[in-house]
Amino acid sequence: MLEYYPMAKHLHMTLAMLSILGFIFRWILALLKSPMLNKKWLKITPHIIDTCLLVAAILLCVMLQQYPIAQDWLSAKVVLLVVYIVLGIFALKRAPNQLIRLVAGLAAIAVFAQLLAVAFSRSPLGMFA
């Protein structure tokens, strides 16, 4: 199964980039109050990408036999993912005003950057190590 590790890792990384690019695109549309946000494909595609991203992440954990809780850096990634999702919800849907939407979006992008730093450094401190 490890022979598929490079492919699974690259798939995971590609899906992560598609996910953040899609978020940024939808966030800009939300800031502009664009009616395009109501397009069906723009509501469905992020869920497909994020589901595949999660499946790839689980596959990588199984392949490497590294799991959150046992690996502090993976635990940090899971916590950061939850924070990113909550901030993303505010940035795209739940913000009471445009300022909160702007700040939540910027914070979500910063959290995603930290998530990448944790992934590349394999340190729970990420860019703060």
* pLDDT tens per residue, range 36-92: 999 999 999 999 999 999 999 999 999 999 988 899 999 999 999 999 999 999 999
Name 68's bridge partners: 71
Tell me the one-letter amino acid at 47.
H
Tell me the one-letter amino acid at 81.
L
Work out how many domains the chain is built from and give that number.
Answer: 1
Whether this model's pTM surpasses 0.75: yes
State pLDDT tens for residues 106-118.
999 999 999 999 9
- Residue 55 CA to residue 106 CA, distance in Å, equals 26
Domain that holds residue 96: 2-128
